[in-house]
Amino acid sequence: MTSRLTIIVLFVLIVTGWQGASAQEPNSASPANYSQEAVVIEHFSTKLQFQNDGTAQKETTMRARVQSDAGVQQMGLLRYLYLEANETPEVVYVRLRKPDGTVVITPPESIQDQPSEVTRLAPFYSDLREKHIAVKGLSAGDVLEYQYRSHTHTPLIPGQFWLADDFIRDGIVLDQELEVSVPVDRMVKVKSTEIQPTVREEGNRRIYLWKSTNLKRKTEEEKAADESQSESPPPAVQLSTFESWEEVGRWYDSLQRDRIEPTPEIQAKAAELTKGAASDEDKLRAIYSYVALKFRYIGISFGVGRYQPHPAADVLANQYGDCKDKHTLLAALLKAAGLMAYPALINSSRQIDPKVPSPAQFDHVISAIPQADGYLWLDTTPEVAPFALLLFTLRDKQALVISEGKPALLVKTPQDPPFPTTARFQVEGKLDESGTLTAKIERTFRGDMEVLLRAAFRGTPQAQWKDLVQNISYASGFAGTVSKIDVSAPEATDAPFRLSYDYNRKEYPDWANHRISMPARPTACQP
């Protein structure tokens, strides 16, 4: 029904809620996603200068030869991301050099400022914004040049700075440079996986310089292999002023510690939810189900709010929140019931590099419940995930568990789901003499696909469920029509998700040539 990559994209866009991006990290100015054939990057440079207080200056410069009309479509509208609460952006110049030597300047009135696309596509509110620059007079054969600058005037974490960056590997790049300047007396962890930098000192500054080229176009097989990967390796260049994961844990704990303290409202709700519970596990399940199902995912990310959760009482009153908000409410309710839940910072799409402690390595928060033999892991963000199920993008991953009274530690999440993953497909039908197949189809899911299907049905009005099942049938390779839909409640996560329907198809495949093939379970439904 859907590919592994599609599941990953859906999960990252819908399920994660951590907004841990440094003010200097938005990098949509990079042409990494531009077509390899349409554009040749002749020069691309990024210069960053960090100060001890966490403020920074960034300058991005590019020169690219636009080789076709496809390149004109891709480069005709430039986008540059920035954080409004933390950065002051500046478009220094955007200009063209025509083949005859003419220079065409894009004027300031061609620059528009608007909210970032993610705030329009997802339930997400943020001060992440985009500069849109409509390039004036761009044609195939032109050389496009631009330069952006930004000043990080308000660091997200005063006194700290970090960087995570990659080199362009999806297109032809003749010359790429990354230059990072830091105070010479500042402890900075620096790691490079592909290219080692040259290092020099100038006065009270230490300057790292990476140089890269990419002259080989990827084959279709290489592109397909990249798309099939469930996670990316750590960034090619990482830099951080955090000395240890313990220090990262202390920082995050300082943001969330007072937010999980039970207020009278929290205590009353915990008592209501656990009334009659016979065991701690019963209490845990009741509170997990309440936070997972009753609180909508809505991201609100401004300034330090990218990292700091809202107080649990506010989340309870609002009935919505992002991943760190939902963990905070869960932890507060459990604390009121005499149980503990620790925040666990994790990355849903990239591998964690244990050697570079940094907030940039995380994009999500889940909950770690201390047990005698380790931790029970919970993620309330997907809303309809069965108890203790982490989706596959979070399994077998390093997570930074921030325990009360102990140093923060990287801990591996479970490799397997807490129950067997299953996808059952049952057909009972008959084929009449006219070639019409009528059947009853029942499908049952347990595991990752179950969560996606539950979310799809929960987010679709019941009056439209027939259309949704019809699309599922089409995507599974069945061209007939569906009717008499019966779907288990999306919120009933204690049992496998089940859907059944009547299926009708006239002139069953190759009936005219007196050949038929029996319906088979669609293997594409497996994540």
Same domain, yes or no: 394 and 426: no
Name, in order, each residue with C-beta under 8 angstroms of 513's C-beta and a sequence gap of 6 or more. Answer: none
What is residue 32's predicted lDDT score, i.e. its pLDDT? Answer: 43
Q: Is the pLDDT of residue 20 over 60?
A: no
Cα–Cα dist 346/421, whole Å:
23
Same domain, yes or no: 32 and 133: yes
Q: Is the pLDDT of residue 347 over 60?
A: yes
Q: Is the pLDDT of residue 229 over 80?
A: no
| 101: helix, strand or coil | coil
Highest mean pLDDT among 281-290, 301-310, 428-437 belongs to 281-290
- Residue 311's Cβ-side half-sphere holds a number of Cα atoms within 13 Å equal to 9
Indicate whether 350 belongs to any domain.
yes
Same domain, yes or no: 200 and 313: no
Under 8 Å between Cβ of 266 and 313:
yes
Q: Is the pLDDT of residue 5 over 60?
A: no
Q: What does DSSP assign to residue 305?
A: G
> 238-250, pLDDT tens digit by residue?
999 999 999 999 9
Query: Which residue has 């009274």 as its token pair?
Result: 405
Cα–Cα dist 288/284, whole Å:
6
What is residue 219's predicted lDDT score, i.e. its pLDDT? Answer: 75
Give the CATH number of the domain where residue 300 resides.
Answer: 3.10.620.30
Tally of helices (H runs) and strands (E runs) in the chain:
11, 27
Last residue of a domain, one of 216, 240, 264: 240
Indicate the pTM of the whole model.
0.85
Indicate whether 9 belongs to any domain.
no
Same domain, yes or no: 208 and 252: no
Q: How far is CA 242 from CA 179, 305, 361, 385, in A?
A: 20, 20, 12, 34
> 142-183, pLDDT tens digit by residue?
999 999 999 999 998 999 999 999 999 888 999 999 999 999
Q: Is the pLDDT of residue 30 over 60?
A: no
| 371: helix, strand or coil | strand
Q: Identify the sign of the CA torsion 512, 518, 519, 523.
A: negative
DSSP run (H or E) holding 189: strand 189-192
> 379-437, pLDDT tens digit by residue?
999 999 999 999 999 999 999 999 988 999 999 999 999 999 999 999 999 988 888 88
Indicate whether 5 belongs to any domain.
no
The residues that bridge with 324 in the sheet, in sequence order, are none
Q: Identify the sign of the CA torsion 316, 321, 325, 328.
A: positive
Q: In the predicted model, what is the mean pLDDT of residues 451-462?
A: 94
Cα–Cα dist 35/6, whole Å:
21
Query: How many C-beta atoms lie closer than 10 Å to residue 379's C-beta?
Result: 29
Indicate whether 120 belongs to any domain.
yes
Same domain, yes or no: 285 and 218: no
DSSP run (H or E) holding 306: none
What string of DSSP letters covers 280-342?
HHHHHHHHHHHHHHHSEE-EEE-GGGGTPPPPHHHHHHHTEE-HHHHHHHHHHHHHHTT---E
Same domain, yes or no: 309 and 397: yes
Q: In the predicted model, what is the mean pLDDT of residues 354-358?
A: 96
Q: Is the pLDDT of residue 294 over 70?
A: yes
Same domain, yes or no: 30 and 86: yes
Same domain, yes or no: 263 and 214: no
Same domain, yes or no: 197 and 55: yes
Last residue of a domain, one of 208, 240, 272: 240
Query: How many C-beta atoms lie closer than 10 Å to residue 404's C-beta?
Result: 12
DSSP run (H or E) holding 233: none
Between 126 and 399, the more confident residue is 399
Query: Which residue has 């909950």 as its token pair?
Result: 367
Same domain, yes or no: 363 and 435: no
What is residue 249's predicted lDDT score, i.e. its pLDDT? Answer: 96
Q: How far apart are the first and last CA of the chain?
A: 9
Q: Which domain holds residue 88?
A: 23-155+161-240
Indicate whether 378 belongs to any domain.
yes
Label residue 527 by pLDDT band (50, 70, 90): very low
Under 8 Å between Cβ of 182 and 48:
no
Give the CATH number of the domain where residue 146 resides.
Answer: 2.60.40.3140
The answer to which of 18-32, 188-202, 459-473, 486-500 has the lowest mean pLDDT is 18-32
Query: Which residue has 């962890």 as its token pair?
Result: 189
Under 8 Å between Cβ of 66 and 42:
no
What is residue 230's predicted lDDT score, i.e. its pLDDT? Answer: 64
What is residue 4's predicted lDDT score, i.e. its pLDDT? Answer: 36
Q: Is the pLDDT of residue 22 over 50?
A: no
**Closest Cα to residue 296, out of 326, 276, 264, 333?**
326
Tell the burial category of 62 from Cβ atoms under 10 Å away from its Cβ (0-12, 13-18, 19+). buried
What is residue 324's predicted lDDT score, i.e. its pLDDT? Answer: 94
Between 246 and 7, the more confident residue is 246
How would you classify the pairing of strands 296-297 and 320-321? parallel
> 39-96, pLDDT tens digit by residue?
999 999 999 999 999 999 999 999 999 999 999 999 999 998 888 889 999 999 999 9
The residues that bridge with 482 in the sheet, in sequence order, are 503
Cα–Cα dist 207/178, whole Å:
10
| 425: helix, strand or coil | strand
Last residue of a domain, one of 394, 412, 430: 412
Q: Is the pLDDT of residue 350 over 60?
A: yes
Indicate whether 2 belongs to any domain.
no
Q: Is the pLDDT of residue 27 over 60?
A: no
In the predicted model, what is the mean pLDDT of the chain? Answer: 87
Domain count, the chain: 3
Query: How many C-beta atoms lie closer than 10 Å to residue 328's C-beta?
Result: 29
The answer to which of 1-10, 271-280, 325-334 has the lowest mean pLDDT is 1-10
Query: How many C-beta atoms lie closer than 10 Å to residue 254's C-beta?
Result: 10
| 22: helix, strand or coil | coil
Indicate whether 18 belongs to any domain.
no
Give percent of the chain with pLDDT exceeding 70. Answer: 85
Strands (E), 26-141: 39-50, 56-66, 77-83, 87-97, 103-105, 111-115, 124-126, 128-134
Query: How many C-beta atoms lie closer than 10 Å to residue 521's C-beta?
Result: 14
Q: Is the pLDDT of residue 477 over 50?
A: yes
Same domain, yes or no: 231 and 290: no
Cα–Cα dist 334/312, whole Å:
11
Cα–Cα dist 54/33, whole Å:
30
What is residue 501's predicted lDDT score, i.e. its pLDDT? Answer: 97
Indicate whether 123 belongs to any domain.
yes
Same domain, yes or no: 39 and 95: yes
